[in-house]
Amino acid sequence: MEPIPPNLDYPTVTDPTDALSAVPAAGSRRAVPVIGHLRFYYGPMDCGKSTLALQVDHNHARQGRKGLLLVHLDRSGKPQISSRIGITRTAIEVHAGIDLRDLVRERWAAGSRVDYLIVDEAQFLTPQQVDQLAELADDVQVDVYCFGIATDFRSELFPGSRRLFELADELEPVQVDVLCWCGLPARFNARVVDGAVMRAGDTVLVADTTDTERALSESARATTVRYQVLCRRHFRLGDLGPNVAAKGQLSLA
Protein backbone atom coordinates (compact mmCIF):
# COMPACT_ATOMS: atom_id res chain seq x y z
CA MET A 1 0.00 0.00 0.00
CA GLU A 2 1.38 3.36 -0.98
CA PRO A 3 1.82 5.91 1.84
CA ILE A 4 -0.66 8.80 1.92
CA PRO A 5 0.98 12.03 0.77
CA PRO A 6 1.34 14.36 3.77
CA ASN A 7 -0.15 17.33 1.92
CA LEU A 8 -3.22 15.52 0.62
CA ASP A 9 -6.40 17.50 1.26
CA TYR A 10 -9.42 15.57 2.46
CA PRO A 11 -12.95 16.84 1.98
CA THR A 12 -14.59 18.22 5.11
CA VAL A 13 -17.60 16.17 6.15
CA THR A 14 -20.17 18.11 8.16
CA ASP A 15 -22.30 16.12 10.57
CA PRO A 16 -25.27 18.19 11.80
CA THR A 17 -25.64 15.88 14.81
CA ASP A 18 -22.01 16.27 15.92
CA ALA A 19 -21.83 17.79 19.42
CA LEU A 20 -18.05 18.25 19.41
CA SER A 21 -16.48 21.67 19.00
CA ALA A 22 -13.19 22.53 17.37
CA VAL A 23 -10.28 22.88 19.78
CA PRO A 24 -7.35 25.31 19.50
CA ALA A 25 -4.28 24.10 17.67
CA ALA A 26 -1.36 23.10 19.87
CA GLY A 27 0.56 26.29 19.18
CA SER A 28 -2.34 28.58 20.04
CA ARG A 29 -3.52 26.97 23.27
CA ARG A 30 -1.69 29.59 25.33
CA ALA A 31 -4.41 32.00 24.26
CA VAL A 32 -7.05 29.92 26.04
CA PRO A 33 -7.70 31.31 29.55
CA VAL A 34 -6.67 29.17 32.51
CA ILE A 35 -9.64 28.10 34.62
CA GLY A 36 -9.99 26.54 38.03
CA HIS A 37 -11.52 23.15 38.68
CA LEU A 38 -14.58 22.17 40.69
CA ARG A 39 -14.18 18.74 42.29
CA PHE A 40 -16.62 16.79 44.44
CA TYR A 41 -15.39 13.99 46.71
CA TYR A 42 -18.32 12.04 48.12
CA GLY A 43 -19.05 9.01 50.25
CA PRO A 44 -21.06 7.75 53.23
CA MET A 45 -20.44 8.71 56.83
CA ASP A 46 -17.15 7.59 58.36
CA CYS A 47 -15.34 7.13 55.02
CA GLY A 48 -12.76 9.85 55.73
CA LYS A 49 -14.06 12.84 53.76
CA SER A 50 -13.07 15.43 56.37
CA THR A 51 -9.66 13.82 56.82
CA LEU A 52 -9.09 14.02 53.07
CA ALA A 53 -10.26 17.65 53.03
CA LEU A 54 -7.68 18.58 55.66
CA GLN A 55 -4.97 16.62 53.83
CA VAL A 56 -5.70 18.48 50.58
CA ASP A 57 -5.51 21.81 52.43
CA HIS A 58 -2.23 20.77 54.09
CA ASN A 59 -0.64 19.83 50.76
CA HIS A 60 -1.65 23.06 49.02
CA ALA A 61 -0.55 25.23 51.95
CA ARG A 62 2.86 23.54 52.03
CA GLN A 63 3.31 24.50 48.39
CA GLY A 64 2.68 28.16 49.14
CA ARG A 65 -0.93 28.38 47.98
CA LYS A 66 -3.49 30.41 49.91
CA GLY A 67 -6.92 28.96 50.57
CA LEU A 68 -10.12 29.25 52.56
CA LEU A 69 -11.72 26.45 54.57
CA LEU A 70 -15.52 26.51 54.52
CA VAL A 71 -18.01 24.31 56.33
CA HIS A 72 -21.70 24.16 57.18
CA LEU A 73 -22.99 22.16 60.15
CA ASP A 74 -19.84 20.33 61.14
CA ARG A 75 -20.50 17.43 63.52
CA SER A 76 -18.75 19.36 66.31
CA GLY A 77 -21.29 22.16 66.14
CA LYS A 78 -18.41 24.64 65.77
CA PRO A 79 -17.03 26.59 62.77
CA GLN A 80 -14.36 24.05 61.96
CA ILE A 81 -13.57 20.99 59.90
CA SER A 82 -13.16 18.07 62.29
CA SER A 83 -12.02 14.59 61.43
CA ARG A 84 -12.98 11.55 63.48
CA ILE A 85 -9.30 10.67 63.81
CA GLY A 86 -8.76 13.86 65.83
CA ILE A 87 -7.52 16.41 63.27
CA THR A 88 -9.30 19.78 63.40
CA ARG A 89 -8.92 23.08 61.57
CA THR A 90 -10.84 26.32 62.05
CA ALA A 91 -13.14 27.11 59.12
CA ILE A 92 -15.67 29.70 58.02
CA GLU A 93 -19.26 28.69 58.74
CA VAL A 94 -21.38 29.25 55.63
CA HIS A 95 -25.15 29.30 55.97
CA ALA A 96 -27.65 29.39 53.13
CA GLY A 97 -27.69 33.19 52.92
CA ILE A 98 -23.95 33.64 52.28
CA ASP A 99 -22.72 34.43 48.77
CA LEU A 100 -19.48 32.45 48.49
CA ARG A 101 -18.17 34.88 45.89
CA ASP A 102 -18.32 37.66 48.49
CA LEU A 103 -16.03 35.67 50.81
CA VAL A 104 -13.38 35.64 48.10
CA ARG A 105 -13.91 39.32 47.22
CA GLU A 106 -13.47 40.27 50.88
CA ARG A 107 -10.10 38.52 50.96
CA TRP A 108 -9.06 40.30 47.78
CA ALA A 109 -10.12 43.63 49.28
CA ALA A 110 -7.95 42.87 52.33
CA GLY A 111 -4.95 42.31 50.05
CA SER A 112 -4.91 38.50 50.25
CA ARG A 113 -5.10 36.10 47.35
CA VAL A 114 -7.30 33.01 47.24
CA ASP A 115 -5.95 30.11 45.21
CA TYR A 116 -8.35 27.41 46.38
CA LEU A 117 -11.40 26.65 48.50
CA ILE A 118 -11.96 23.59 50.69
CA VAL A 119 -15.67 23.03 51.35
CA ASP A 120 -16.63 20.33 53.85
CA GLU A 121 -20.22 19.12 54.42
CA ALA A 122 -20.89 20.33 50.88
CA GLN A 123 -24.18 18.44 50.74
CA PHE A 124 -25.67 21.28 52.82
CA LEU A 125 -24.83 23.95 50.23
CA THR A 126 -27.72 25.43 48.31
CA PRO A 127 -27.79 24.86 44.53
CA GLN A 128 -27.16 28.60 44.14
CA GLN A 129 -23.99 28.35 46.23
CA VAL A 130 -22.74 25.49 44.04
CA ASP A 131 -23.33 27.74 41.03
CA GLN A 132 -21.24 30.40 42.76
CA LEU A 133 -18.40 27.91 43.24
CA ALA A 134 -18.52 27.02 39.55
CA GLU A 135 -18.34 30.72 38.69
CA LEU A 136 -15.29 31.17 40.92
CA ALA A 137 -13.58 28.24 39.20
CA ASP A 138 -14.41 29.41 35.68
CA ASP A 139 -14.00 33.17 35.96
CA VAL A 140 -11.31 33.81 38.58
CA GLN A 141 -9.34 30.53 38.44
CA VAL A 142 -10.04 29.38 42.01
CA ASP A 143 -9.66 25.63 42.52
CA VAL A 144 -12.63 24.30 44.51
CA TYR A 145 -12.57 21.03 46.46
CA CYS A 146 -15.94 19.93 47.87
CA PHE A 147 -16.41 17.02 50.28
CA GLY A 148 -19.75 15.62 51.34
CA ILE A 149 -22.40 12.93 51.49
CA ALA A 150 -24.31 12.26 48.29
CA THR A 151 -27.64 11.02 49.64
CA ASP A 152 -29.71 11.68 52.75
CA PHE A 153 -31.35 9.18 55.11
CA ARG A 154 -34.07 8.53 52.52
CA SER A 155 -31.42 7.58 49.92
CA GLU A 156 -32.27 10.74 47.94
CA LEU A 157 -29.66 13.22 46.75
CA PHE A 158 -29.12 16.30 48.86
CA PRO A 159 -29.88 19.44 46.79
CA GLY A 160 -26.27 20.61 47.10
CA SER A 161 -24.90 17.21 46.12
CA ARG A 162 -27.26 16.98 43.17
CA ARG A 163 -26.02 20.32 41.83
CA LEU A 164 -22.42 19.24 42.33
CA PHE A 165 -23.06 16.07 40.34
CA GLU A 166 -24.48 18.28 37.59
CA LEU A 167 -21.67 20.85 37.51
CA ALA A 168 -18.44 19.42 38.89
CA ASP A 169 -15.47 18.85 36.59
CA GLU A 170 -14.51 15.76 38.56
CA LEU A 171 -16.57 13.40 40.72
CA GLU A 172 -14.49 11.24 43.03
CA PRO A 173 -15.90 8.64 45.43
CA VAL A 174 -13.77 8.50 48.57
CA GLN A 175 -12.02 5.15 48.44
CA VAL A 176 -11.95 4.23 52.15
CA ASP A 177 -14.36 1.30 52.58
CA VAL A 178 -17.21 1.60 55.05
CA LEU A 179 -18.88 -1.73 55.81
CA CYS A 180 -22.43 -2.66 56.67
CA TRP A 181 -22.89 -4.90 59.71
CA CYS A 182 -23.09 -7.84 57.27
CA GLY A 183 -19.62 -7.10 55.88
CA LEU A 184 -20.72 -5.76 52.48
CA PRO A 185 -19.79 -2.24 51.34
CA ALA A 186 -22.18 0.32 52.83
CA ARG A 187 -23.20 3.60 51.22
CA PHE A 188 -26.63 4.31 52.70
CA ASN A 189 -26.91 6.55 55.75
CA ALA A 190 -29.87 5.25 57.74
CA ARG A 191 -31.44 7.45 60.40
CA VAL A 192 -32.42 5.30 63.35
CA VAL A 193 -34.96 6.41 65.95
CA ASP A 194 -35.57 4.11 68.89
CA GLY A 195 -34.19 1.15 66.98
CA ALA A 196 -36.18 1.70 63.76
CA VAL A 197 -35.00 3.05 60.39
CA MET A 198 -36.81 6.29 59.55
CA ARG A 199 -38.18 6.95 56.06
CA ALA A 200 -39.50 10.48 56.61
CA GLY A 201 -38.53 13.61 58.52
CA ASP A 202 -36.32 16.68 58.24
CA THR A 203 -33.49 16.26 55.75
CA VAL A 204 -30.92 17.92 58.00
CA LEU A 205 -30.32 16.45 61.44
CA VAL A 206 -26.68 16.55 62.48
CA ALA A 207 -25.42 13.86 64.83
CA ASP A 208 -22.31 13.05 66.84
CA THR A 209 -22.01 16.34 68.72
CA THR A 210 -22.55 17.20 72.38
CA ASP A 211 -23.32 20.82 71.42
CA THR A 212 -26.19 19.65 69.25
CA GLU A 213 -27.42 17.41 72.02
CA ARG A 214 -27.45 20.30 74.49
CA ALA A 215 -29.45 22.37 72.01
CA LEU A 216 -32.21 19.76 71.72
CA SER A 217 -35.42 20.09 73.65
CA GLU A 218 -36.12 17.80 76.59
CA SER A 219 -38.66 15.85 74.52
CA ALA A 220 -36.16 15.37 71.70
CA ARG A 221 -33.49 14.15 74.11
CA ALA A 222 -35.90 11.52 75.35
CA THR A 223 -35.79 9.90 71.92
CA THR A 224 -32.62 8.16 70.76
CA VAL A 225 -31.60 9.37 67.28
CA ARG A 226 -28.53 8.02 65.53
CA TYR A 227 -27.19 7.15 62.09
CA GLN A 228 -25.95 3.80 60.82
CA VAL A 229 -24.39 3.01 57.46
CA LEU A 230 -25.96 0.05 55.67
CA CYS A 231 -25.69 -1.82 52.39
CA ARG A 232 -28.57 -1.38 49.95
CA ARG A 233 -30.33 -4.61 50.89
CA HIS A 234 -30.34 -3.98 54.61
CA PHE A 235 -31.23 -0.34 54.08
CA ARG A 236 -34.28 -1.43 52.08
CA LEU A 237 -35.24 -3.98 54.71
CA GLY A 238 -34.53 -1.66 57.63
CA ASP A 239 -32.36 -4.41 59.10
CA LEU A 240 -29.86 -2.99 61.59
CA GLY A 241 -28.23 -6.30 62.36
CA PRO A 242 -28.01 -8.49 65.47
CA ASN A 243 -26.34 -5.80 67.59
CA VAL A 244 -28.68 -2.86 67.07
CA ALA A 245 -27.24 -0.79 69.91
CA ALA A 246 -23.67 -1.17 68.68
CA LYS A 247 -21.27 1.33 70.21
CA GLY A 248 -19.46 3.69 67.90
CA GLN A 249 -22.46 4.59 65.77
CA LEU A 250 -23.28 8.27 65.52
CA SER A 251 -25.77 9.32 68.18
CA LEU A 252 -27.71 12.37 69.30
CA ALA A 253 -28.84 10.97 72.60
* 68, containing H or E segment: strand 67-71
Contacts of 46 (CB under 8 A, 6+ apart): 84, 178, 229
pLDDT tens-digit series, residues 109-152: 999 999 999 999 999 999 999 999 999 999 999 999 999 999 99
pLDDT tens-digit series, residues 148-187: 999 999 999 999 999 999 999 999 999 888 899 999 999 8
Q: How many CA atoms within 13 Å lie on the side-chain side of 181?
A: 18
- Give 194-226 as a 3 state SS string: CCEECCCCCCCCCCCCHHHHHHCCHHHHCCCEE
Question: What is the rounded distance in angstroms from the CA atom of residue 213 to the CA atom of residue 169?
Answer: 37
pTM for the model stands at: 0.76
Taking every pair of Cα atoms in the chain, the longest distance, rounded to a whole number of angstroms, is 87
To the query of whether residue 135 is one of the catalytic residues in this protein, the response is no
Question: What is the rounded distance in angstroms from the CA atom of residue 164 to the CA atom of residue 55?
Answer: 21
Do residues 146 and 41 make contact, with C-beta atoms less than 8 angstroms apart?
yes
Give the per-residue pLDDT at 20. Answer: 63
Instruction: Compute φ and ψ for 148, nearest 5 degrees.
Output: -175, 180
Q: Kindly report the average pLDDT of the chain as a whole number.
A: 82
Catalytic residue among 121, 166, 172, 213: 121
Do residues 95 and 72 make contact, with C-beta atoms less than 8 angstroms apart?
yes
